[in-house]
Amino acid sequence: MQRALVTIAACSLAIAGCGGSASSGKSDVAEAVSQFWTAFLNGDAATACGMLTPQLRARLDRGPDTCAEVVRVTPAVIEYQKRSELQRQFEEKNWVVTVEGPLALVSLPDKPGSVKLMKQADGRWLISQLDSLRP
């Protein structure tokens, strides 16, 4: 669980504070990422894990802990003040978003790593990959 939690937490810390714009499909992608991180930081496993593609969720659930177990312990691991600051930054949707057809990439302009999303048949954007980002 520690490894999965550290990877997801590192992603959340790295995405905070990026710059970008929202237009056409970009605003929907930004909203999906914001919804995921809000749920993740608040320990809402049903929402956070539901924002992952079935393939990513299956990969995470094959590990020592399930997606839901990792998300449920997050609020206890990340101190309240830091969670509140991250939450505020995610709500502002300040990141770089690139959309190409049914694929999207959310990244930092000056750091490696990214969050990749795929548009599903029902029109929802789901997270398909969480690269380990470092602030």
Q: What does the pLDDT read at residue 91?
A: 63
> Do the domain assignments include residue 119?
yes
Q: What does the pLDDT read at residue 46?
A: 95
Total domains in the fold of the chain: 1
> Do the domain assignments include residue 135?
no
pLDDT at 94 over 70: no
C-alpha distance from residue 49 to each of 24, 58, 116 (Å): 25, 10, 15
C-alpha distance from residue 34 to each of 20, 29, 59, 95, 128 (Å): 14, 9, 22, 10, 15
Q: What does the pLDDT read at residue 93?
A: 57
Q: Which domain holds residue 32?
A: 2-130
Please report the sign of the dihedral spanned by the C-alpha atoms of residue 117, residue 35, residue 77, residue 95: positive
